[in-house]
């Protein structure tokens, strides 16, 4: 386990009279230092500097990032004034900082960036709780400012997570004086509270990750001060556990399931407890084991046998930090429980020479098998010819036997997280990851060819006429499927980078980060049409049917576009941002939003048929099989909902957000989770 080291810098008293004296930073830093030092909560070695000159802070900064190992966790926190120079560069104000000499009296963001870049640690955390009341040097230069400090852009780098209290210049200079009150920091107050009280443990597993901490603080700050918008940027592999929840208790939904008189509810609790034992800290594992032991004596044979099986084959305790766990070659296979019934008689033992009785029917919503991937799974599984292909944040693409979860092969791609949807065509599986496209042999995982891209690739690829279509930055690239050489490329249709590509025959339909959808003819290589869809259009292959493409947006609107002309057929407002692609089946469009709702919309008119409410935002693309629609939610559940009525059939708890979109084949639902597992769940029909 690596060392955990933190440097906290607070400046509130300034020699420059033009900088308002702040009251919060000293208290904020001391409170944060206290919770970070607590060995039961975070266990950091903490240094704190208050009202020090820039050269003293610079020395401490160098010590923080010097001689670190890859698995060390380094945390740098600053609270005080942030300033911009004439060229728009960011500086952090120290006690001796003078606004007319920022270069030699402040701590430039560029210097911090260089120190972090030179550090061997690949787990670096930077937290900036800046007051930008003096962000600009003089009122005469306000015309050059855009009202944003663009903090995140200044600290990009692999292995880093950056949290900021705000990026807006909420105060301004008039002459040489700052006007407006510098408030006590709401951001740091909730940061400390979430760690100290454990309320930032959003998924209830006993650990608080950076993602959870940011989500908790963001919502608290926005609720209290709507004009302040915290921001986050990360480029790390796996998750970073920042603290333990010292006030952890069994989640309410799990307590309710354990008390339920319904055996299937208690059976679902067994799976949740087994998951908590796999991923939780020592306290969580101990409580989960106690509950599993109690359930092993349950009066339902299906519950008791499943609980006993988990107790008999307990996995090794999870690491207390976020160091990636080794990925075993075999899946965790869960034997199907017996079907509850009156008396629940034991199964008959076949006598030699007699036919073996048929296996009992599977229980929908229970797990057939699960496979540990060593990283969060946000990739969409692809199931072809009895094989599941799925990527992981560990940087690995897996090929698993769809029936058993046994690993056929795996390939570490060495490009960071693999969050794309693998595309199988012929004997190759195409996988975009970061700035490369890989073509791999489906039998062995051998890389047949790879193509470097000019920028981040879209998460989906299309294949048509022996070519592979993929986008990077604002360019559509068409490659020969045989060897990856470029057939042709088309760019310049929009400055914001492309997010997705969908093929309608040989027409490539592309959405960008801003507000446009384009159609490029694969034969003429010319643009057929352009449609305007405000606020980051979201779509994908599942949203294409009958010559219509259904596109969601972060404004919360669902658009139906004619694929021949780009004309909008209808628009339906669903209320909150749509972050994942819609899916269409049997004349109905299914789409989720950030209000935790899944909508069923009439494909021809845009009218609602029904809506279902989950317990968290839905950022997983739905999939329809038979009369059931399946999807995941940030609440950690996989849901099965009746397509006709919108009534819930079952839910499967994974314990962590589910942003992987499900795939359904041969009676199983394949879906990944941030729990770092791929699950095969018994389907509803």
Q: Identify the CATH number of the domain in which residue 138 sits.
A: 3.40.50.1460
The domain boundary, picked from 260, 294, 312, lies at 312
pLDDT at 642: 92
Residues 278 and 133 in one domain: no
Does residue 237 fall inside a structural domain? yes
Residues 81 and 130 in one domain: yes
Report pLDDT digits (tens) over 328-348.
Answer: 333 444 433 333 333 333 333
Instruction: Give yes or no for residue 146 having a pLDDT over 70.
Output: no
pLDDT at 238: 66
Q: Which of 77-81, 87-91, 226-230, 467-471 has the lowest mean pLDDT?
A: 226-230
Instruction: Give yes or no for residue 170 having a pLDDT over 50.
Output: no
pLDDT at 496: 61
How far does the chain reach from its first CA to its final CA, in angstroms? 46
pLDDT at 174: 29
pLDDT at 413: 86
Residues 19 and 119 in one domain: yes
CA atoms of 419 and 392, how far apart (whole Å) = 6
Report pLDDT digits (tens) over 572-598.
Answer: 988 889 999 999 999 999 999 998 999
pLDDT at 254: 78
Instruction: Give yes or no for residue 683 having a pLDDT over 70.
Output: yes
Average pLDDT for 529-548: 88
Report pLDDT digits (tens) over 488-499.
Answer: 988 766 556 788
Residues 54 and 95 in one domain: yes
Residues 239 and 279 in one domain: no
β-pairing verdict for 597-602 and 608-613: antiparallel
Q: Which one is predicted more confidently, 648 or 181?
A: 648
Instruction: Give yes or no for residue 666 having a pLDDT over 70.
Output: yes
Residues 284 and 300 in one domain: yes
Residues 141 and 284 in one domain: no
Does residue 219 fall inside a structural domain? yes
Give percent above pLDDT 90 in the chain: 38
Average pLDDT for 204-221: 86
How high is the mean pLDDT of the chain?
A: 81
Average pLDDT for 153-167: 72
CA atoms of 364 and 359, how far apart (whole Å) = 15
pLDDT at 345: 36
Confidence of residue 177 (pLDDT cuts 50, 70, 90): very low
- Write out the residue range of the structural domain in which residue 298 sits: 252-312
Q: Is residue 553 left, alpha or beta, with left meaning phi > 0 and alpha meaning psi from -120 to 50?
A: beta
Report pLDDT digits (tens) over 298-309.
Answer: 988 888 888 888
Q: Which of 32-41, 168-177, 230-239, 432-441 has the lowest mean pLDDT?
A: 168-177
Residue pair 392/418 in contact by the 8 Å Cβ criterion: yes
What is 6-50 written as a DSSP string? EEEEE----SSTTSPPPSHHHHHHHHHHHHHH-TTTT--EEEEEE
Average pLDDT for 16-32: 76
Does residue 528 fall inside a structural domain? no
Closest CA to 168 of 102, 221, 108, 103: 221
Does residue 138 fall inside a structural domain? yes
The highest-confidence range among 217-226, 316-325, 555-564, by mean pLDDT, is 555-564
Residues 8 and 153 in one domain: yes
Matching residue, tokens 């001391």:
30
The length of the chain is 685
The domain boundary, picked from 296, 312, 328, lies at 312
Does residue 98 fall inside a structural domain? yes
Residues 6+ positions from 141 with CB-CB distance below 8 Å: 86
Own/partner pairs for 174-178, CB < 8 Å, 24+ apart?
174/139, 175/139, 176/18, 176/138, 177/18, 178/18, 178/19, 178/20, 178/133, 178/134
Q: Which of 202-216, 265-279, 614-628 has the lowest mean pLDDT?
A: 265-279
Q: Which of 8-12, 213-217, 277-281, 287-291 has the lowest mean pLDDT?
A: 277-281
Instruction: Give yes or no for residue 676 having a pLDDT over 50.
Output: yes
Does residue 189 fall inside a structural domain? yes
Does residue 329 fall inside a structural domain? no
Instruction: Give yes or no for residue 178 having a pLDDT over 50.
Output: no
Does residue 143 fall inside a structural domain? yes
Residues 258 and 232 in one domain: no
Residues 29 and 88 in one domain: yes
Average pLDDT for 418-429: 91
The domain boundary, picked from 223, 244, 265, lies at 244
pLDDT at 132: 62
pLDDT at 103: 87
**Cα angle at 615 between 555 and 194, to 5 degrees?**
90
Residues 215 and 260 in one domain: no
Q: Rg (Cα) of the chain, in Å, rounded?
A: 27
Task: Tell me how many domains the chain contains.
Answer: 2
Residues 212 and 257 in one domain: no
Report pLDDT digits (tens) over 485-525.
Answer: 999 988 766 556 788 889 988 899 988 877 889 899 988 88
Between 24-37 and 186-197, two packed helices, what is the crossing angle to 10 degrees?
20
pLDDT at 16: 84
pTM of the model: 0.54
């Amino acid at each position: 386990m690596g060392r955990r080291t933190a440097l906290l810098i607070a400046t509130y008293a300034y020699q420059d009279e033009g900088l308002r004296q702040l009251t919060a930073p000293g208290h904020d830093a001391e409170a944060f230092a206290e919770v970070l030092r607590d060995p039961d909560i975070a266990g950091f070695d903490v240094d704190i500097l208050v009202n020090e000159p820039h050269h003293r802070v610079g020395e401490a900064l160098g010590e923080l990032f010097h001689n670190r190992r890859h698995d060390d966790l380094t945390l740098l926190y600053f609270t005080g004034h942030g300033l911009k120079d004439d060229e728009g560069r960011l500086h952090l104000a120290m006690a001796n900082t003078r606004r007319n000499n920022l270069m030699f009296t402040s701590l430039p963001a560029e210097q911090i960036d260089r120190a972090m870049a030179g550090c061997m640690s690949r787990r670096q955390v930077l937290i900036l709780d800046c007051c930008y009341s003096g962000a600009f040097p003089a009122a005469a230069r306000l015309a050059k400012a855009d009202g944003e400090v663009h903090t995140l852009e200044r600290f990009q780098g692999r292995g880093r997570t950056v949290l900021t209290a705000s990026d807006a210049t909420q105060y301004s200079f008039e002459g040489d004086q700052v006007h407006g009150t510098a408030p006590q920091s709401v951001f740091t107050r909730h940061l400390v509270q979430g760690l100290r009280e454990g309320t930032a443990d959003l998924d209830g597993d006993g650990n608080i990750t950076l993602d959870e901490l940011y989500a908790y603080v963001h919502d608290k700050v926005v609720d209290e001060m709507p004009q302040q918008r915290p921001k986050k940027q990360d480029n790390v592999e796996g998750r970073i556990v920042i603290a333990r929840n010292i006030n952890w208790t069994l989640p309410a939904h799990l307590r309710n399931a354990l008390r339920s008189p319904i055996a299937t509810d208690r059976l679902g609790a067994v799976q949740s407890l087994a998951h908590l034992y796999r991923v939780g800290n020592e306290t969580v594992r101990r409580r989960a084991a106690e509950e599993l032991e109690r359930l092993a004596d349950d009066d339902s044979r299906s519950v008791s046998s499943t609980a006993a099986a988990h107790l008999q084959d307990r996995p090794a305790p999870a690491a207390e930090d976020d160091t990636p766990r080794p990925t075993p070659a075999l899946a965790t296979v869960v034997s199907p429980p017996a079907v509850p019934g009156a008396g629940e008689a034991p199964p008959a033992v076949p006598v030699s020479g007699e036919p073996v009785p048929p296996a009992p029917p599977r229980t929908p919503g229970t797990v057939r098998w699960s496979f540990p991937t060593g990283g969060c799974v946000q990739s969409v599984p692809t199931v072809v010819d009895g094989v599941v292909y799925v990527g992981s944040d560990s940087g690995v693409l897996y090929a698993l036997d769809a029936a058993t979860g046994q690993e056929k092969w795996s390939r570490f791609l060495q490009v960071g997280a693999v969050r794309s949807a693998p595309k199988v065509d012929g004997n190759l599986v195409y996988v975009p990851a970061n700035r490369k496209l890989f073509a791999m042999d489906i039998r062995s995982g051998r890389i047949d060819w790879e193509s470097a891209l000019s920028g981040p690739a879209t998460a989906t690829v299309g294949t048509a006429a022996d070519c592979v279509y993929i986008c990077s930055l604002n360019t559509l690239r068409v490659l020969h499927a045989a060897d990856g050489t470029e057939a042709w490329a088309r760019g310049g249709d929009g400055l914001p980078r492309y997010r997705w590509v969908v093929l309608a025959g040989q027409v490539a339909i592309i959405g960008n980060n801003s507000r446009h959808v384009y159609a490029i003819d694969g034969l003429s290589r010319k643009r057929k049409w352009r449609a305007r869809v405000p606020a980051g259009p979201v779509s994908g292959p599942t949203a294409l049917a009958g010559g219509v493409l259904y596109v969601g947006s972060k404004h919360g609107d669902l658009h139906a576009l004619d694929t021949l002309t780009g004309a909008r057929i209808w628009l339906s407002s669903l209320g909150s941002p749509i972050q994942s692609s819609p899916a269409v089946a049997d004349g109905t469009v299914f789409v989720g939003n950030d209000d935790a709702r899944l909508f069923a919309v009439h494909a021809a008119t845009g009218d609602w048929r029904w809506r279902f409410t989950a317990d968290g935002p839905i950022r997983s693309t739905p999939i329809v099989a038979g009369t059931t629609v399946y999807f995941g939610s940030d609440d950690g559940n996989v849901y099965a909902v009746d397509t006709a009525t919108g009534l819930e059939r079952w839910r499967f708890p994974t314990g962590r957000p589910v942003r992987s979109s499900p795939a359904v084949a041969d009676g199983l639902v394949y879906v990944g989770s941030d729990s770092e597992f791929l699950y095969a769940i018994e389907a509803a029909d």
